[in-house]
Structure 1
Amino acid sequence: MRVLLTGSSGWLGRHIAPLLEAAGHEAIGLDPAPGAHTDIVGSVADRVLVMQIFADRGVEAVIHSGALHKPDIVRYPTQAFVDVNVTGTLNLLEASVAHNVQRFVFTSTTSLMISAAVRAGASERAVWLDENFAPLEPRNIYGITKLAAEQICRLYHHNHALRCIILRTGRFFPEEDDTDLPLSGENNKANEFLNRRLTVEDAAAAHLAALDRAPTLGFDLFLLAAPSPFAPADVVPLKVNAATVVARYFPDAPTLYAARGWQLPGVIDRVYDARRAERVLGFRCRTDFAAVLAAMRDGAPLPFAHDATYQSPLVAGDK
């Protein structure tokens, strides 16, 4: 298939493109920044350009991974988020319907599930997050626009029978967290594989699985994160002493962490439950916390990316 891949120069897009090509598809990369996998430099917010691409390139499917993200809030006005994340998604959906495209995969985010109350972590128990979690009260313009884009995807499936799969991905960025954390970047990322992170390789593979299953599923939404070892019965002890809970599931974790000078999490305030993606989409992340510990145990490289100096191509190009 000829697959339009938005965000092709970004961290996720540059991992999706080779998978598309390995699967025998033709990836047509669209991104506002140049890149190795970008054929067309431009924005999804440009409706004329989007329509022209569909007409000229014979697009048969769309993976829409391009967006302005949470770190962009300090760099771009609110209107830019609406233009790119909402209007850009609408442009792609309209072009898909106009050109009889039958498969549309949309990269969303678990961030839109985190309200101010969830982020504050004031509850006495960890919040268990799956596809049924409600109410959705995004705390910033990034989450608001991604939720709006999800709803437009749902509308276009309802009105036009467009096969559309939404993937709410957990964290997979390589850079440092943009909040002030006491732990090192690698330590923090390793901890997050317990409850909220996945590798970019797994995120990319999930998009290929969604592309394959879209005709069968029609419309669906999946939360994506590494398989968590925890159960709903753990939500109270995770808020009291998470390190003890982790040690119960992984008895050698404290020793492995101590050898690196790392710390297990003292508190875990949320758990992303990705089991429905395994049951319905047939996709399970390959890398989990057990894999992280196995690498530490074997003296192998850690199975996730960490780059404290990473900048998106768009930001790097502005300098």
Structure 2
Amino acid sequence: MRILLTGSSGWLGRFLAPMLRAAGHGVTGLDIAPGAETDIIGSVADRTLIDRLFAERGIEAVIHSGALHKPDIVRYPARSFIDVNVTGTLNLLEAAVAAGHDRFVMTSTTSLMISQAVRDEAGDAAVWLDEQSGPLEPRNIYGVTKLAAEGLCRVQQLEHGIGCTLLRTARFFPEDDDSDGSLPGQNLKANEFLHRRLTVEDAARAHLVALERTPPAQCEAYLLSAPTPFVRDEAEALKRDAAAVIVRHFPEAAELYARRGWQLPTSIGRVYDAGLAQRQMGFRCETDFAAILASLRADMAMPFIHDANYVSPAVRN
């Protein structure tokens, strides 16, 4: 298929575009910043540009991974988030419907599931998050606009029948966490594979699976994260003494962590359950916490990318 990939210069796009080409698809990369995988410099908010690309490139499907993200809140006003994340999504959906497409894949985010109450993690148990969690009350303009974009996908599916797959990705950014400096970056990322992280490679692979599977007759949202080893019945224990729960599942974990001078989490306040993606979409992340421990056991590099100095191309340019 001839694919329009938005956000092609971003962290996900630079992994996804080669994967799409290796699978035999033609890719037109669109981004506001130049990059190795970007053919066209421009914004999804520019409807004239979108229409021209569909006409000139014979676009047959869209993977919409371009967006303003949470770190952009300090750099852009709220209206820019609406222009890009909401109006830009509508531009792509309307162009896809007009072109007779049967599928539309959008990168969404678990951030839209994190209300202030979930963020505060004030309860006695870890919050278990899956596609049935709600009510959805995003706490910032990023989450609000991504939830609105999901709503636009649902409306277009209802009114025009285009199949939409919304991938609510957990964390896969390479840089340090700008809101948690309690542990070194690699240690923190390794811990998150228990409950709220996936590799960028797995995120890219999920988009390819979503594109190539039989187009759904509906609009479906899937949470994407490394498979958690925990079950709901462990929620209270995870909040109270996460390390003890982890060692029950992985008896070597404490010793392997100690070898590298790392710390297991003492408390886990939320868990992402990606089971629906496996059951319905046939997708499971290849890298999980067991893979982290295997790398520690073999004294090898981590199976995920950590780059404390990473800066997105949009910021650099």
State the TM bucket, normalised to the shorter chain.
over 0.9
Q: Residue 161 of structure 2 contacts residue 217 of structure 2 at CA under 8 Å; is this kept in 1?
A: no
Residue in 1 that maps onto 2:66: 66
Residue in 1 that maps onto 2:132: 132
Q: Distance in 2 between matches of 1:111 and 1:56?
A: 35
1:219 CA displacement: 2.4
Structure 1 vs Structure 2: percent identity of aligned residues? 65
Q: Residue 165 of structure 1 contacts residue 214 of structure 1 at CA under 8 Å; is this kept in 2?
A: no
Residue in 1 that maps onto 2:203: 203
Letter in 1 for 2:297: R
Residue in 2 that maps onto 1:276: 276
Residue in 2 that maps onto 1:304: 304
Q: Distance in 1 between matches of 2:157 and 2:225?
A: 25
Letter in 1 for 2:50: V
Q: Distance in 1 between matches of 2:216 and 2:182?
A: 45
Per-residue CA deviations over 1:222-261 (Å, capped at 9, x if unaligned) read 1000000000010000010101100110001000111111
Q: TM-score, normalised by structure 2?
A: 0.99
Q: Distance in 2 between matches of 1:216 and 1:222?
A: 13
Residue in 1 that maps onto 2:18: 18
1:263 CA displacement: 0.6
Residue in 2 that maps onto 1:249: 249
Letter in 1 for 2:58: G
The 3-state SS of whatever aligns with 1:29 is: strand
Q: Distance in 2 between matches of 1:283 and 1:250?
A: 24
Aligned length: 317
Q: Structure 2: state its 5+ residue gaps.
A: none
What is the RMSD computed on CA atoms of the aligned residues? 0.8
1:290 aligns with 2:296: no
Residue in 2 that maps onto 1:213: 213
Q: Distance in 1 between matches of 2:176 and 2:279?
A: 32
| CA 217–195 in structure 1, closer or farther in 2 if over 3 Å, else same | farther
The 3-state SS of whatever aligns with 2:213 is: helix
State how 1:163-202 maps to structure 2 within 5 Å: 163-202=163-202
Q: Please list every run of at least 4 consecutive aligned residues from structure 1 whose deviation after the TM superposition is greater than 2 angstroms.
A: 216-219
State how 1:223-262 maps to structure 2 within 5 Å: 223-262=223-262
Residue in 2 that maps onto 1:33: 33
Letter in 2 for 1:79: R
The 3-state SS of whatever aligns with 2:194 is: coil
Residue in 2 that maps onto 1:79: 79
Q: Distance in 2 between matches of 1:249 and 1:217?
A: 39
Letter in 1 for 2:37: H
Residue in 2 that maps onto 1:109: 109
Q: Structure 1: state its 5+ residue gaps.
A: none
